[in-house]
Amino acid sequence: MMKTNPSIFQFAIIFILILEIRIQLSEEIDFLVNRSKAGLFHIPKDLSLKTTILDISQNYISELQTSDILSLSKLRILIVSYNRIQYLDISVFKFNQELEYLDLSHNELGRISCHPTVNLKHLDLSFNAFDDLPICKEFGNMSQLEFLGLSATQLQKSSMLPIASLHIRKVLLVLGDTYGKKEDPESLQKLNTESLHIVFPIRKEFSFTLDVSVSTAVSLELSNIKCVPDGHGWSYFQNVLSKLQKNSRLSSLTLNNIETTWNFFIMLLQLVWHTSIEYFSISNVKLQGYPDFRDFDYSDTSLKALSIHQVVSNAFNLPQSYIYKIFSNMNIQNFTVSGTHMVHMVCPSQISPFLHLDFSNNLLTDIVFKNCRNLIKLETLSLQMNQLKELASIAQMTNEMKSLQQLDISQNSLRCLPPKVKVLDLHDNRIRSIPKPIMKLEDLQELNVASNSLAHFPDCGTFNRLSVLIIDSNSISNPSADFLQSCHNIRSISAGNNPFQCTCELREFVQSLGQVASKVVEGWPDSYKCDSPENYKGTLLKDFHVSPLSCNTTLLLVTIGVAVLVFTVTVTALCIYFDLPWYLRMVFQWTQTRRRARNTPLENLQRTIQFHAFISYSGHDSAWVKSELLPNLEKEELRICLHERNFIPGKSIVENIINCIEKSYKSIFVLSPNFVQSEWCHYELYFAHHNLFHEGSNNLILILLEPIPQYSIPSSYHKLKNLMAQRTYLEWPKEKSKHGLFWANLRASINIKLREQAKK
């Protein structure tokens, strides 16, 4: 007893803990109110008190007041960007103690009143109309601050002082259109941030001396750099960049929205080549003019990855091979050129250190890297969204890339596959088939052939390492079930949105898919629907069922055949071994007897009748009658009249017989050829007279002891012939096993309750 108590106690504590955790979790679930683009001029009054996230961006709100948001004590995230707010008093948030994310970017803020707010993690005041940096003394206490967005048209070193002791992850500094008039190049000196993004005034020739290298940032992003050929922009910008060479902290540089010349662009690359920068990314570049042919100095670089995105050039007839040569000989690991009009790339002139090349979204054709033996280190190559057409050339190209593991040639104009890769992305092409013999992709592990025109699953015989297959949105209507069985290593298969034809052939596939669905099949069951026939259209494969019998014609025929055969054999066996017809006749007679017994008015009968039955037989059959018939009837206490036993002296045989018949309920005739020959004549006259054998006569029981051939019946015995033809007799069975039923039937037909006094 003592032992159980603590454990119950522990359970209770755990239970309470779980409850508390659940309560906390449920409190953390966000309550989002999104009134973005709602044409608002004021903060709505009808906001729920539970609101944790409020998005009122892209409206016409010009004022924020304490009363607007006072009651939203749970508010954590407030997005007011793209409005018309001109003045901000930070004390309006003094009741929103939970507030940690405040986005006021893209307003018209010119002034700000300070108030201590310590909980903010994200404060965005960028793209506003501030002259001086909107940095309050109080910001110095926002030790949680991770992001700070600022805007100003003039910078002073001192204005950064309040936040100098913070460690901010990212600072966005947007310089207004009039920035540069009174520039202090050292203004960023006190800025303590990991990542700095400076947005220079747009459409303005670069003419700033701001020293971007003095901050603590390791990652620097500069937007809007315009250096036209005749201006001084390049020299200013060159000056800014050259200062970076002295800054060994900086490892990542991103330039956005650059408008310059080819020459400056290549000089820019060359300058960065000799800095500490490891990751260099340039996007949205507009280039003018033609490059001069100068050698590129690849020596002494820290660069690992260069990305160039979205380049347009106004030059009509560019000396492309010069540019391609500069690119292809870069001694870096990762190189990306995407969204340009690059139509070709040449082979590096010596073994290249390239590991990852991404040339997606250009205009490359089948001759790219043709016969190139210097890309033997290359591991991944993306040629997505280019103008590739022939797979044979891709096969040939990749053949020389001994280390290639991933090839993405999706979204090209390819028509059919290439070898020796592990990951192959071919989605969105025009592939109609994956030819078995040509393609020996023994190493292939992941294959993406979504959005092609494939009619069948690939054969796992040739891709037996395949573990991931993406084959959605093709033309597969009748997939075979073999696929899943042959692909032993498959971990994930995605085959939805194919036009499945829900007929019998699909059944096995659905079964095999259903078995592994939860583990392996992506998008199951929702993306797997019948497309045809019409009556199944839209039905999920999961819910598509047909019986095995209706599907398999052979099975159906065999089943019917077997059933018929079994039936025939059974019936034949019953007929042969158990004499079914005999039994049927017996049963039929039994039921007839029962029916007749019910319809007979007994009282009338009982008055005149003394015996249950009269038996007539030939002397030749007397042995059977004495040993079989009589004992079997009399043991049931049935009273039998035999003409020799109940003989009345002084009367003729016929009179005695007739007397017997009249006092008996039934007349039993034991028929045999002997009987017909010797006895029938005794009755013929009487029967003719009394019409005993009229249609439906009840009183007569014929036992056929031995078969009587038709010819042996004298032609004048019409009645007998009729009776025999109607087969209304009980047949004495030779088999002992049938005797029981015979006697029962016979007894049933003569069993009637006779009056007691009749016994005497």
Chain residues in the site for ligand NAG (CB under 6 A)? 34, 36-37, 53, 55, 116, 137-138, 140-141, 304-305, 333-334, 356, 380
Encoded tokens for 98: 């939970």
Minimum Å distance from CB 520 to ligand NAG? Answer: 26
3-state SS record for 693-752: CCCCCCCEEEEECCCCCHHHCCCCCHHHHHHHHHCCEEECCCCHHHHHHHHHHHHHHHCC
Minimum Å distance from CB 117 to ligand NAG? Answer: 9
Minimum Å distance from CB 490 to ligand NAG? Answer: 25
Minimum Å distance from CB 514 to ligand NAG? Answer: 37
Residue 406 vs 745, nearer CB to ligand NAG:
406
Minimum Å distance from CB 118 to ligand NAG? Answer: 8
Encoded tokens for 601: 């008015």
Minimum Å distance from CB 411 to ligand NAG? Answer: 18
Tokens 């494969």 locate to 541
Q: Cα–Cα distance between 391 and 429 in angstroms, integer? A: 11
Minimum Å distance from CB 77 to ligand NAG? Answer: 7
Minimum Å distance from CB 305 to ligand NAG? Answer: 4
Residue 304 vs 344, nearer CB to ligand NAG:
304
Q: Cα–Cα distance between 76 and 102 in angstroms, integer? A: 8
Rounded to 5 degrees, φ, ψ at 470 are: -115, 115
Q: Cα–Cα distance between 79 and 272 in angstroms, integer? A: 37
Minimum Å distance from CB 357 to ligand NAG? Answer: 9
Residue 333 vs 477, nearer CB to ligand NAG:
333
Tokens 């000056």 locate to 239
Q: Cα–Cα distance between 594 and 658 in angstroms, integer? A: 27
Residue 278 vs 508, nearer CB to ligand NAG:
278
Encoded tokens for 460: 């796992």
Q: Cα–Cα distance between 290 and 113 in angstroms, integer? A: 52
Residue 124 vs 579, nearer CB to ligand NAG:
124
Beta bridge partners, 109, equal none
DSSP reduced 3-state for 502: coil
Rounded to 5 degrees, φ, ψ at 334 are: -115, 130
Residue 79 vs 447, nearer CB to ligand NAG:
79
Cα dist from 398 to 196, 395, 419, 602, 660, whole Å:
41, 5, 8, 108, 116
Closest by CA to 135, choosing from 119, 143, 123, 121, is 123
Q: How many CB atoms lie within 10 A of CB 639?
A: 19
Q: Cα–Cα distance between 145 and 134 in angstroms, integer? A: 15
Minimum Å distance from CB 512 to ligand NAG? Answer: 36
Residue 240 vs 306, nearer CB to ligand NAG:
306
Minimum Å distance from CB 304 to ligand NAG? Answer: 4
Residue 78 vs 391, nearer CB to ligand NAG:
78
Q: Which residues fall within 8 angstroms of residue 696, CB to CB, at 6 or more apart?
A: none
Question: Distance from CA of residue 89 to its chain's centroid?
Answer: 54
Which helix (H) or strand (E) segment holds residue 308: the answer is strand 305-313
Rounded to 5 degrees, φ, ψ at 651 are: -110, 150
* DSSP-assigned letters across all residues of 578-628: H-HHHHHHHHHHHHHHHHHHHHS-HHHHHHH--EEEEEE--GGGHHHIIII
Tokens 């051939």 locate to 709
Burial label for 465, CB within 10 Å (0-12, 13-18, 19+), is: middle
Minimum Å distance from CB 67 to ligand NAG? Answer: 23
Residue 136 vs 654, nearer CB to ligand NAG:
136
Residue 405 vs 751, nearer CB to ligand NAG:
405
Residue 380 vs 393, nearer CB to ligand NAG:
380
Minimum Å distance from CB 14 to ligand NAG? Answer: 37
- The answer to whether residues 382 and 396 touch, using CB atoms and an 8 Å cutoff, is no
Residue 218 vs 752, nearer CB to ligand NAG:
218
Minimum Å distance from CB 441 to ligand NAG? Answer: 21
Minimum Å distance from CB 350 to ligand NAG? Answer: 21
Residue 334 vs 646, nearer CB to ligand NAG:
334
Q: Cα–Cα distance between 691 and 698 in angstroms, integer? A: 12
Residue 304 vs 682, nearer CB to ligand NAG:
304
Q: Which residues fall within 8 angstroms of residue 353, CB to CB, at 6 or more apart?
A: 331, 332, 333, 377
The sheet with strand 729-731 has its strands ordered as 640-642, 611-616, 664-671, 700-704, 729-731
Residue 34 vs 550, nearer CB to ligand NAG:
34
Encoded tokens for 575: 């007929």
